[in-house]
A and B are shown apart, each in its own frame.
Chain A
Amino acid sequence: MAETLPGTGGRGHGLDLAMRGIVKRFPGVLANDHVDFDVRRGEIHTLLGENGAGKSTLMKILYGLYRPDAGEIRIDGEPVQIDSPRRAIELGIGMIHQHFMLVPTLTVAENVALGLASPKGPLLDLAPVARRIEELSEAYGLRVDPGAMVWQLSVGEQQRVEIIKALYRDAELLALDEPTAVLTPQEVEDLFVTLRAMAAEGHSLIFISHKLHEVLDISDRITVLRNGRLVGTVSSADATKAGLARMMVGREVVLEQVRAPVEVGPPRLEIFDVRARGDRGTEAVRGVSLQVRAGEILAIAGVSGNGQRELAEVVAGLREATGGRVLIDGSDVTGADPGQRRALGLAYIPEERMRDGAIGQFTVAENLMLHDFDRPPFARHGFLDFAEIERHCRRLVADFDVKTPSLDTTMKSLSGGNIQKAILARELSANPKVLVASQPTRGVDIGATEYIHRRLLDQRARGTATLLISEDLDEILALADRIAVMYEGEVMDVVDRADADVGRLGLLMAGVRDSGT
């Protein structure tokens, strides 16, 4: 039956890949330091590691986007030179990049056909392309409409297009870079069904993720990288979450923070029937009402693009509410500017930390002082008191464990985790009454995530009312007291942490209200 499946060329399924002694240097960084990695036919092999461990570099070398400085790649035992993506495709290698490589203004079929010869020579002929897309959809459970414009598709659908693109090119080895980061739990399940079907047919699969439970669920073997070096390869059956985390970070990691019971106080943040428009002018927030009390973390779960970012911006005063009211500590701040809100005790950790949370060209010290630079004791009569500023910043950097060469280092040269810790230091230093934290650990390594989670829980214990917005359900379940699920600008439901389970939250995230089971 395998022969009848479309998109699997004449070569037969799968290939054996061996990468040996791969070295890649960038100015000042050894991104891959003699890394060995191999994938067998029909195997799902996970590449695990923190940001900057060298996973993406290794994959870009495999796909011909980078040339290695040393090392050898063998496919089915034969040494190969992969000097371009075109060569990689010819060798049967497909890649699903973390940032989708799709042209949003084109249709699905056009995206799939791009770069391939057409049966009609120079003329485009999309009808056979569409037919084959439908065959592939059918064979692998990858539902997608070949005629749809890519910008209209959901993230999950776009990912299916990426997989179809690779299968259409007869990929026998498929590398997926953090494919689950943007999916709902149900979509992850669907993806895993597809991946298992492909592996069962003999396809070789490389899976990249840092979500340990997914890794343990889907992989046959797991290879861990740290700081560009190979830590080891283990069989999934012998691996544990704690063991993998230790291999990734190089020390023991507390995966689950202890959430001590905290006495909740009066409501600090109240949102009544808030409405707001998104960047495209369409209504993104449609009548959301929420209350967060002192000493409570209320998490907003949902697939990105369902109004969470807009809601956070409305609360922070960065986006105008078209309806409804926002109260901070009992004061109506609906029309207030961000400065007035901060004066009432609001702190904000924005989703786009390099765009809204920090100024990359400024130094660490300047970034730490962004709010307070113009008031005593840091400034008097318009003159900055550098000694006082330095003293304050030294304390923040030490307290919040920001790893920086100096206070005068530019912010953009720090790692994502340390940038986030610096923002956290600035925002939490005033012990806020209300904290809005958007995706506080996205793109942040496990060590820093552990630290940030601990800080958020500390803040909860000190009576801060926290509105946490996250796409990571593990994070939400680890931190939240209550969970509100947003879908298409509305709150589907608010559930207590004690009653929450991943299946129910996933359904709500997909817009399905459960019928009282």
Chain B
Amino acid sequence: MGEFFTSAVLVSTVASGLRLSTSYLFAAVGETFGQRSGVLNLGVDGIMLLGAFGAYYTVLNGGGLWLGMVVAITVGLVMGLAMAFTSVTLQAEQGISGIGFYLFGLGLSDLLFQKLVGTPLPIRGFPELRIPFLADLPVVGEMLFSHSIVVYAAFLLVPVAAFVLNRTTLGLKIRSVGENPEAADTLGVSVAGVRYLTVMTGSALAGLGGAALATELGIFQQNLTAGQGFIAVALVYFGAWRPVGVMAGSLLYGLVASVVLQLKTLGIIPRSASELAAMLPAVLTILALVVAVQRERQPAALTKPYERGA
């Protein structure tokens, strides 16, 4: 156990924890927007998979990483439009339609992968971007300031999302629509408009989360996300619908996953128990959720379609 607590191992464990948090963070912050406006999108994982494949395929065919990101965002927007149409316009039961979107994304991404790529070829992700000066600080430099641009972007997204939700007129509309859509409607706020916007934004971020995962790993395969999108939905509850809370949850998840990985690599966890150890982050999240969610109130209109005069 002693070898775990060497500074080099600790630094690389934290750094890898941050990297592992990234895809959750994109997806969960995106989902926060939707849920704050009253729409639960359970299809996040499917959208992540499609975004991941879109980015991977673009990069594989020489389109470049930036174009890959644009493709992932576009895929997310299209899926978000469809999701918003079912949830907002058709007023579908959100817990059910989201599962449909997930299965659609899971199946389509695999189909496209089998048809268009076949064998998993590696791609090169964004290079490490060392922040001048800060990256040279002892310990923290290596931990926090030697990552790819995707990681920085994910963490920068948190204060931006918090600012939009709390300090802008748009954020006020989002929060009102999620709490009392009827009140917002009587003041001339377009409930459907706000919800389309948040669901599409959230889905675009989910697509980006998938792209982050594929480019960081440098690979695509069937069910690459392995349920990350569902964890992201849970993290929104864990974070009490606040971007900073969601970040805390993502970090917790990423760090625990990273520690488990590290302990496996060092042989501290025996190979026979590695499957069990891999469950640790999920178990931890469930426990944290049980404790955290009991105290917090969800947006009053979450999962409730709005119909004027109904």
Contact = CB atoms under 8 A, between A and B. Distances in A.
Classify chain A's interface size.
Answer: 20 to 34
Contact of A84 (B169, B175, B179, B188): B188
Interface stretch (A98-106, A239-247, A314-322, A467-475): A98-106
B156 interface: no
Interface string A93-113: 001010011111110001101
A154 interface: no
Contact of B168 (A97, A102, A123): A123
B182 interface: yes
B175 A63 contact: no
Contact of B170 (A66, A100, A106, A122): A122
B180 A117 contact: no
A103 B176 contact: yes
B168 A122 contact: yes
Interface string B293-310: 000010010000000110
Given A104-B180, A105-B175, A106-B176, A122 B169 contact: yes
B183 A103 contact: yes
A319 B186 CA distance: 37
A104 B186 contact: no
A300 B184 CA distance: 36
Interface string B184-196: 1111110000000
Nearest to B166: A124
A117 B308 CA distance: 23
Interface string A43-80: 00000000000000000100101100000000000000
A67 to B, nearest CB: 10
B187 to A, nearest CB: 4
B183 A102 contact: yes
State the majority secondary structure of interface residues on B: helix
Contacts of B167: 123-124
Given A103-B175, A106-B179, A122-B169, A114 B309 contact: no
Nearest to A105: B179
A105 B240 CA distance: 14
A65 B187 CA distance: 11
B147 interface: no
B171 interface: yes
B189 to A, nearest CB: 5
A202 to B, nearest CB: 24
Contact of A85 (B172, B187, B297): B187
Contacts of A95: 186
A115 B171 contact: no
Contacts of B171: 124
A123 B165 CA distance: 10
A254 to B, nearest CB: 36
B308 A115 contact: no
Interface in A101-150: 101-106, 110-111, 113-118, 122-124
A86 interface: yes
A354 B119 CA distance: 61
A124 B169 CA distance: 5
B173 interface: yes
Interface string A347-389: 0000000000000000000000000000000000000000000
Given A103-B175, A103-B183, A115-B188, A123 B309 contact: no
A104 B185 contact: no
A114 B172 contact: yes
Contacts of A89: 187-188
Given A123-B167, A123-B169, A85 B179 contact: no
Interface in A137-169: 165
Interface in B179-213: 179-180, 182-189
A111 B167 CA distance: 14
Contact of A65 (B179, B184, B189, B308): B308
A63 B172 contact: no
A487 to B, nearest CB: 27
B161 to A, nearest CB: 15
Interface string B239-266: 0000000000000000000000000000
Contacts of B182: 101
Nearest to B189: A115
Interface residues of B, number: 23
Contacts of A60: 309
A124 B171 CA distance: 9
B175 A106 contact: yes
A105 B296 CA distance: 12
Nearest to B187: A115
Most chain A beta-carbon contacts within 10 A, residue among B170, B186, B300, B308: B186
Nearest to B169: A118
Interface string B257-295: 000000000000000000000000000000000000000
Contact of A114 (B173, B297, B300): B173
B172 A124 contact: yes
Nearest to A63: B186
B183 to A, nearest CB: 4
Nearest to A87: B188
Nearest to B188: A86
A114 B168 contact: no
Nearest to A57: B309
A101 B170 CA distance: 19
B201 to A, nearest CB: 15
A117 B169 contact: yes
Contacts of A116: 169, 187
A115 B183 CA distance: 10
Most chain B beta-carbon contacts within 10 A, residue among A63, A95, A100, A123: A123
A51 B184 CA distance: 26
Nearest to B179: A103
Contacts of B185: 65, 85
Interface in A398-451: none
Given A123-B167, A124-B167, A115 B179 contact: no
A134 B180 CA distance: 25
A114 B175 CA distance: 10
A463 B220 CA distance: 80
A142 B182 CA distance: 24
A115 B180 contact: no
Contact of B172 (A65, A102, A113): A113
Nearest to A89: B188
A114 B176 contact: yes
B184 A115 contact: yes
Contacts of A122: 168-170
A65 B180 contact: no
A116 B188 CA distance: 9
B300 to A, nearest CB: 8
A123 B168 CA distance: 4
A38 B197 CA distance: 40
A162 to B, nearest CB: 10
A463 to B, nearest CB: 46
29 contacts: A60-B309, A63-B186, A65-B186, A65-B308, A65-B309, A84-B188, A86-B188, A97-B186, A101-B183, A103-B180, A104-B179, A104-B180, A104-B300, A110-B172, A113-B172, A114-B173, A114-B183, A114-B184, A114-B187, A114-B189, A115-B187, A116-B169, A116-B187, A118-B169, A122-B169, A123-B167, A123-B169, A124-B172, A165-B187
Q: List the 4 closest A-B pairs by CB distance, nearest first.
A: A86-B188, A115-B187, A101-B183, A115-B189
Given A111-B183, A122-B168, 7 more contacts: A85-B186, A97-B186, A106-B179, A115-B184, A122-B170, A123-B169, A124-B171
